Structures are given as C-alpha cells and as structure tokens.
A and B are shown apart, each in its own frame.
Chain A
C-alpha cells in the first residue's frame, strides 16, 4: 500500500484564496495623494447622501461612501480620477511623504 502522507500530495493545482493588498501596499506607487476639501464636498455641505462621484469612479475601491468620503491612502494609487470627476473641484492631488 502506498504511503498517502507524502508532502507532494498536499500540493495539487495552483489555487488562490482572497487577500487585501495582493500586490503589496500599492499606495507607494505614487507620491501624489488626493485630499478632499470638506468645505466644498457636496455630501458634507448638504449633510445628505449625494454625489459620491469619487466613490463611484474609483477603479481601486479605496474611497468609502460615507460623509465625508474617506480615502485609504495605503492602497490609493494616486491616479487622480477622483480629482477629475469631482463636480465641484473639491479634490486636489498633493505631494505626500511615502512611509
């Protein structure tokens, strides 16, 4: 009878399980990060759930749909789409020090 407890038999096909930050801290990809001016931001000003363009258009899903929207800078790649899509120009890309 063959010994079934061999180490190679635990390795079958290449299978993944989900994790956050699979590519590492992608926030390090850019030194420019978005900063939201809360005095201009529409949901902050109105106190109502509205606009949320920055949440909608973020390809990385690092913006939260909250009042105010929060951006996860650990993973934000600094693409600048949120800045472009904000209808009231409340977001600007600022140089930040990368940890």
Chain B
C-alpha cells in the first residue's frame, strides 16, 4: 500500500495579479446582495487571510471571495477550514502572525466559534466577522432573527448592525479602520439580517480603490510572530497576580489584562464616531452619528427603539402613525457593543416613552434591547416609560400592523402606570393551529 502525495504546500489559490485583471480605479455602482457587498468590502480592504466555512445564509460570501481569488482580483490566502471553530482559530493565528484577516458566519457557526471569540478579544486581534443573522436551533431554522448577534455580547467584541447593503459595504471598511486603530485593537462583528439583506439585491456603490487605500492603510499590528527578531510567547497561562521579576521586568495579572480590554472597549465609542465621520467626509455617506440613526425623532414624544430589519420595518409604522397625528420617531441602533449608554441617556432624556421591538430575547428575562435600555436609563430623573415587545423570531414576518398595534398597546399600558415584565410576543399565530383553545393551552395542571 503506497500513497503518492501531491502536496505543493496547498498554494493552488495563489494567483499572480496580471495586467489584465488589475483592480481598476474609479467608483462603480453595482446591484448586489448583502453577502456580496461584504465580500466586495473584504476584497477592497485587501484582507491577507480569509478562513471561512459555509453556512446558510452566509455561504455566498465565501463563494464570492473564492471567486475573487481565482480570478486574481484578491491576493489573499483563503483557508478552506473544516469547521467554524477552526475558522476563527485560523483567523486568530493569522492575525497574530501579522496579517489582516476576516471571516463570515451565521447562527450555529457563530455558536461553534464561541470558544475563540473571547480569545480574539483577549489577544486584542483586529479580526472582522460578517454575521448574516439567523435564528439558533432547536428547532432548526434558517430564517433571520438577532439571537446569534446578541448572544455574544459579553465576550468583548465591537458589534455593529447594518440596515442596507450599502451600509454593509461601508461598515466593513470602517470596521477594519476601527479595529486596527492603535487606541482600539479590538475585533469587530458586522451584522446584517439573513435573507432580508444577505440575499436581497440593492445598489451598492463600490469606492475607488486608490481612495480606499488612502482611507484604510496597511495594517500596523501590535503582534507580529513572523518578525523573528524578538522572541514572543503569545497568550500563556496568566496568573491572578502581577508578576515581578525585578530587573527582568514585570507583567500584569489576568485582572489587569481584562481591565485593559474593558477600558479600550469603552474608549472605542469615540473612535467609532471618529471613523464614521472621516468616512462621511471622504466618501459622502453617513449613518446617523455612527452609533445610531434616527428618523423623525426630533419632535417625537414616543420613540421606537430597534435594530436592523426591525428598524427598517418600523419606519413604515412610524409613517402611518404620524399620519394619524402621533408624535413618534425611530432610533435605529447601529452600535450594540460597546453599549452607548451615555449617548442613549442623553437622547432619551426628553422623551416620554420608548417602545422597544426586539428580534431577540434574553431567555428567562426579556428582550435584550429592552432591558439594556432600562438599565442605561437607571437613575434618570425623568426617565421615559419603556415597553418592550418580542417580534420576528425565527424569521416570523414583522408586519407594519403588528408594530402599530404594539405602539398602541404600549400607550394604553403606560396610562395604567403598571410596569410589566411579562414578555409580549407580537405576531403569534397560535389561533391558526387547529383546535386552538386558549383555555386549553394555558390550563393549570392539578394532580
């Protein structure tokens, strides 16, 4: 038994960029899906290493990147890993060796990456993940909700949400710049709704490559394993104590490293705004203030708080409610982590009511956006009444009518003065089940 191997170092993807396939300069307006917008951003950001595993609904990102490389449009190493866990591990290792890296995933892929998420944050690696949001099982679902996005909120990543395909492209470019800023050095996750954005075509303006290169210069990393002039041991066991070896120097304990992570995360709010403003100045597109976008909010007494696809749908509800005389507006949250508590307190100070529509739920408590807002408003003398609803889990269609009903319900509840922690699901269709009898479903069992 003999096996001939044909290994040439696995470099079949390295294609020299020839004259014919040189990246041409000049802006280009194209129609493309959200997934492809993310892939285009990776290409133009000149990522060095991509390691990704296909998963619905993100697979086209991976396919597009492979296509770019095979056509010589992207000079990157695409490691076709065997699982998402390995994908993020490859990204962490490649970033530690000094390359610009990115990956993309959804739902269970992100769950599988979970072990490596705090690893990337703790090592301060500027890795970008594109998340096509998708509901987590069980039961199996391929449709969108924001559960996967919010589930990872405690690991130390910067988390941004996008509402349209142009925003996906723009946010990705900004994400690299934010992540690689020496005051930040944190990984960033850019999320967009699965199917709603990932598979829907919209016009996207691709920027001129030279201008992008000016905006996003090559990565200057704080770790570079490939530089053999200094020996580094990266990410060893780190004790609770500060380690002092006198003349040889001292090293922080785990507590100090994590303090640094938290402080840098808090600090990064300013840099997110800075990069957003710089992008707007150079390329002429802005998204609110980079932290959140508003719609008809200036004179509004009631505000709808939502993210992504929910915010997009809410604009329709607000239009309708305004026609009926209600002073209502929208705050579409773009930066979920670090949580802009100060900015939100400032914004909501003068408002009477906030109606929060969560396309996610902190099981055992309530919608994450809802309770995080409540905690941010704690102690505010004139805090608005906050009412949260759960909508659209597992891709359940969010109808404008449901949102309008929710607003009315919130208004009615506020008049009673009761603050309810009972989670309200809008858009349930239990009554369509055969033999549905509300009494039956919620009957108390007495043995």
Contact = CB atoms under 8 A, between A and B. Distances in A.
A8 B235 contact: no
A13 B183 contact: no
Contact of B230 (A4, A8, A12, A17): A17
Contact of B232 (A2, A4, A9, A15): A15
Contacts of B251: 14, 16
B256 A13 contact: no
25 contacts: A2-B270, A4-B182, A4-B183, A6-B267, A9-B260, A9-B267, A12-B124, A12-B185, A12-B223, A12-B260, A13-B123, A13-B222, A13-B234, A14-B123, A14-B234, A14-B235, A14-B236, A14-B238, A14-B251, A14-B257, A15-B223, A16-B234, A17-B232, A17-B233, A19-B248
Interface in B212-238: 222-223, 230-236, 238
Interface in B181-218: 182-183, 185
A15 B234 contact: yes
Interface in A1-55: 2, 4, 6, 8-9, 11-19
Interface of A: 2, 4, 6, 8-9, 11-19
Interface of B: 122-125, 182-183, 185, 222-223, 230-236, 238, 245, 248-249, 251-252, 256-257, 259-260, 263-264, 267, 270-271
Contact of B260 (A8, A15, A16): A8
Given A11-B256, A13-B123, A16-B234, 10 more contacts: A2-B270, A6-B263, A9-B182, A11-B257, A13-B234, A14-B122, A14-B238, A15-B232, A17-B230, A17-B231
Contacts of B122: 13-14
Contacts of A15: 223, 232-235
Given A2-B183, A8-B260, A11-B260, A18 B234 contact: no
Nearest to A20: B248
B124 A13 contact: yes
Given A2-B271, A19-B248, A9 B234 contact: no
A14 B222 CA distance: 12
Contacts of A8: 259-260, 263-264
Contacts of A16: 232-234, 236, 251
A11 to B, nearest CB: 4
A48 B257 CA distance: 53
Given A4-B182, A19-B245, A12 B222 contact: yes
Contacts of A18: 231, 233
B346 to A, nearest CB: 18
Contacts of A13: 122-125, 222-223, 234-235, 257
Contacts of B234: 13-16
B408 to A, nearest CB: 43
A10 B236 CA distance: 18
A4 B183 CA distance: 6
Give the top 3 A-B pairs by smallest Cβ distance, nearest first.
A16-B233, A11-B260, A13-B123
Contacts of A14: 122-123, 234-236, 238, 251-252, 257
A18 B248 CA distance: 10
B111 to A, nearest CB: 24
A11 B183 CA distance: 11
Given A2-B271, A4-B183, A9 B264 contact: yes
Question: A4, A6, A8, A19 — which one has the most chain B CB atoms within 10 A of its CB?
Answer: A8
A14 B185 CA distance: 14
A39 to B, nearest CB: 40
Nearest to B248: A19
A59 to B, nearest CB: 20
B270 to A, nearest CB: 5
A55 B80 CA distance: 44
A79 B233 CA distance: 27
A13 B124 CA distance: 6
Given A2-B183, A16-B236, A11 B123 contact: no
Contacts of B185: 12
Question: A4, A9, A12, A16 — which one has the most chain B CB atoms within 10 A of its CB?
Answer: A12
Contacts of B264: 8-9
B268 to A, nearest CB: 9
Question: A6, A9, A18 — which one has the most chain B CB atoms within 10 A of its CB?
Answer: A9
